[in-house]
Structure 1
Amino acid sequence: MQLIHFPYTKSNNRLLVLDYIRRNENCSRAEIAKAFGFSRSTVSLLVEKLLQNNMVKEMGLGASTAEGGRKGTNLAFNYQSYSVIGVDVTNSSVLCVLTDLAGQVLKKVSLPPVLDVSLCAQKIVNFYQECNHNESPILGIGVSVPSIVDHTKSIVIDAPSLGWKSVNFKAELKKYIPIPIFINNDVDSAALGEHWIGKGASTDHFFYLSIGTGIGSAIISDGRLVPGFQYSAGEIGYFVDKEDLDHDNTYKFGKFGSFEHKVIHLLQEYKEKRSLEKDLVIDVSIALANVISLLNPERVIIGGQKSNQLMEIMDSIRTYIKRFSPLQTTIEKASLNHKASSIGVISYVIEKSFYHILVEKGGIPIGK
């Protein structure tokens, strides 16, 4: 499991200590004091608050110190202290998942698609209310959507497959849900999921390509998602080539990009007639070769509903990529499948919400 990055500064001592305990299982108060140069009394006060909030648990006595001093009590991160809800909204389903802080699924419900904004929000509210009787308080809710998302205003800018434009989905949920709510792009969320507990857990540098109703991508660099200016990095569906210029293909608001439209069409032809395979291989190969040359990822991870179709011709794609780019990379299929976005948006919630709880709220649980 890849550790989620907590956003902290040196003044956020409680978050610093919690993150250290999470990264160093069965550590002592003395080790924490030494790591940060804190006094023993300061560490004791910080740990006491974390124990009160059930975020940390004591694990018994550790080893004696090198000087033969008294054994300290070991501390461990409590992955059951909170639960988190992740929701993946698509035009084929609304997948709702409840997990603990380690990503272990506690409850999962797949609902029929709901394209009406208010009705979709109500389905998520119903799931929240069902889960709110859970033993662990709910830390927050994350919703992934197939759209560029303005994170400063929580606006779903343009989701063609849902028919949503300029929708403040967070505001719809906030009418009924009092805990933190975060909206994130579906492909970004899927990449975060793979980085947390999937195929990307062992690397901090990978490119995630999603093939489904449309095409999207996300970039993980130095262990972090690259959002881009205006949170739009990874919009690979709008890649263009000379053919687009020749045919005067231009982007129109609310429409799929030209590369996206082309590849989805070729995939459909390949699936139904086993035709146009070479065209599909070349188009995808050129796109990935350019990405690999530009970003130098350790891996390219292929996910989404139609990833299996693309993996059928991956040997041919790899051959072309070796011709087009001198850089070496591993290309493999994602492991979380349909759960990737709902699990990934949970990791996004965890990263954002711990700062809210430990710093802004002073360590007060805000779940139930």
Structure 2
Amino acid sequence: MTRKPSHLQTRTNNKKMVLQCVRHYQPISRAEISEKLSISKPTVSLLVDELVRENWVHEKGNGESSSQGGRRPIHLYFNENAAYVIGTDIGGTKVRIVISDLSGRIICSTSFNTQKFLRSGLLKQIHKEVQDLIHRNQLDPNLIMGMGIGVPGITETASGVVMEAPSLNWVRYPLLMEAEQYFSFPVYVDNDVNVAVLGEQWLGNAQNKENVLFIAVGTGIGSGIIIHNQLYRGTSNAAGELGYIVTDKNDMKYEFKPTFHRYGYLESVAGGKAIGEKVTKLIQQNEEHPLYKEAMTSEITGEQAFSLAKAGDEIALPVVEDAIEHLAYGLINAATLLNPEIIILDGGVMKSADFILPRLQRIVHRYLPSSVELHLSQLGENAGVLGAVSLFLREYDSILN
């Protein structure tokens, strides 16, 4: 037997619906809300008055007579500054922190070197940076709703335990438990690429898309997946580990050695580090190459490899084109399985998107059974921090959702 919702539950749900209606259709009048939601005008008016008192909604207009003689409706707007959310993106080299309003507008931001504070405590430093931001920008600390954090590793979202983050040397690290020692407001934690896909769907190139695949191509390769508007994490929160896709069975017949310990096949042939490593070894075999001396003393970076390839370098070009092919096959496999509306590409390797994207599109569209949009991240370096804000707003049970 289905239990009917209580009067309080119904009222709370109606209040949330009214606020959502204002957010999506602003400016809007009380009468228009009543019509859209099929809720009586007196009920809407009472709920709006309450939302105005609580500062979630503000009114504009004076209700003066119109040319037809009726009173002009007072327009309602969502108050984007009713509260603030902190977004934190923990990377292997840099931690970025922003404080955002409820629309995703960044009010202030800061960053610091990850490795410098890894041993002394990242959360301790994040707390210090947050307090500094609040103080410097004269924000009311009582208006901070909470914080979202993106982490470069597999994360148990319910417990907030980072199962493994190689770039941070974290194994079963109780991040949420530590965060609760420093912050009195709610904190939510997830994998950094999961967080980034939320950011792109909220404010980037994946707006209004319900099925999204976000792929970050850097040293490693990972992806965030949204299916029917829901973030897909998988059974053990390890969904989207695209770097483990195998795109050449022949390599696997021999002793395949990943670029880094526990890295997968695709990131070991198409990741930035792998590309630079391969180009370095080949240049070391050619004394005539302009970068021979440099290759003998230090590793050519992925960025340098792409610059060489763009200039038509005979060593770098085949390596880079081979890596792009592998990446394209990985995209084809993932897109065939998930059938997303859009694939968003980001990460350090995609700094060379002008060279990579046309080649990827040619291969992907040739073999994919149904078409898919292929775009770069619109948010760029803000995808992680704004995604962390979006994570909090989605996960935290409040009047906003």
Range of TM-score over shorter length = 0.7 to 0.9
Q: Name 2:156's counterpart in structure 1.
A: 150
Q: For residues 208-227 of structure 1, what are the structure 2 equivalents within 5 Å?
A: 208-227=214-233
Inter-partner Cα distance in structure 1 for 2:332 and 2:275: 19
| Selected match of 1:282 from 317, 320, 325 | 325
Range that drifts further, 117-126 or 84-93: 117-126
Inter-partner Cα distance in structure 2 for 1:63 and 1:207: 50
Q: For residues 258-337 of structure 1, what are the structure 2 equivalents within 5 Å?
A: 258-264=265-271, 265-268=273-276, 269=278, 271=302, 272=305, 274=316, 275-309=318-352, 311-337=354-380
The Cα shift of 1:358 comes to 6.7
The Cα shift of 1:202 comes to 5.0
Q: Name 2:166's counterpart in structure 1.
A: 160
Q: Name 1:237's counterpart in structure 2.
A: 243
Q: Name 2:263's counterpart in structure 1.
A: 256
8 Å CA contact 1:219–1:234 kept in 2: the answer is yes
The share of aligned pairs that are identical, in percent, is 31
Counterpart residue identity of residue 106, structure 1 = I
Q: Name 1:363's counterpart in structure 2.
A: none
Q: In proportion to residue count, which structure has more helix?
A: 2
The answer to whether structure 1 residue 203 and structure 2 residue 209 are counterparts is yes
Range that drifts further, 195-204 or 211-220: 195-204
Inter-partner Cα distance in structure 2 for 1:59 and 1:68: 20
The Cα shift of 1:357 comes to 5.4
Q: Name 1:5's counterpart in structure 2.
A: none
Q: Name 1:344's counterpart in structure 2.
A: 387
Range that drifts further, 337-346 or 230-239: 230-239
Q: Name 1:366's counterpart in structure 2.
A: none
The Cα shift of 1:131 comes to 3.5
Higher RCO, 1 vs 2 (CA within 8 Å, ≥6 residues apart): 1
SS of residue matched to 1:233: coil
Decide whether aligned partners of structure 1 residues 63 and 332 sit closer, same or farther in structure 2, where only a CA change above 3 A counts.
Answer: farther
Inter-partner Cα distance in structure 1 for 2:399 and 2:270: 44
The 4+ residue runs of structure 1 with deviation greater than 6 A are: 62-65
Inter-partner Cα distance in structure 1 for 2:231 and 2:119: 28
Decide whether aligned partners of structure 1 residues 217 and 151 sit closer, same or farther in structure 2, where only a CA change above 3 A counts.
Answer: same
| Selected match of 1:125 from 120, 124, 127 | 127
Inter-partner Cα distance in structure 1 for 2:230 and 2:372: 19
The answer to whether structure 1 residue 99 and structure 2 residue 100 are counterparts is yes
The Cα shift of 1:173 comes to 1.4
Inter-partner Cα distance in structure 2 for 1:226 and 1:28: 37
The answer to whether structure 1 residue 356 and structure 2 residue 398 are counterparts is yes
Inter-partner Cα distance in structure 1 for 2:57 and 2:71: 22
Q: Name 1:44's counterpart in structure 2.
A: 45
Inter-partner Cα distance in structure 2 for 1:294 and 1:349: 29
Decide whether aligned partners of structure 1 residues 118 and 346 sit closer, same or farther in structure 2, where only a CA change above 3 A counts.
Answer: farther
Residues 249-308 of structure 1 deviation map (CA, whole Å, 9 limit, x = unaligned) = 599x97222222222254324643514133212211111112222222232211012212
The Cα shift of 1:183 comes to 0.6
SS of residue matched to 2:223: strand
8 Å CA contact 2:266–2:330 kept in 1: the answer is no
8 Å CA contact 2:244–2:264 kept in 1: the answer is yes
| Alignment RMSD (CA, Å) | 2.8
8 Å CA contact 2:197–2:387 kept in 1: the answer is yes
Number of aligned residues: 348
Decide whether aligned partners of structure 1 residues 246 and 44 sit closer, same or farther in structure 2, where only a CA change above 3 A counts.
Answer: same
TM-score (norm 1): 0.85
SS of residue matched to 1:229: coil
8 Å CA contact 2:63–2:71 kept in 1: the answer is no
SS of residue matched to 1:231: coil
Inter-partner Cα distance in structure 2 for 1:202 and 1:357: 22
Larger C-alpha radius of gyration, 1 or 2? 2
The answer to whether structure 1 residue 110 and structure 2 residue 111 are counterparts is yes
Decide whether aligned partners of structure 1 residues 312 and 107 sit closer, same or farther in structure 2, where only a CA change above 3 A counts.
Answer: same
Counterpart residue identity of residue 18, structure 1 = L
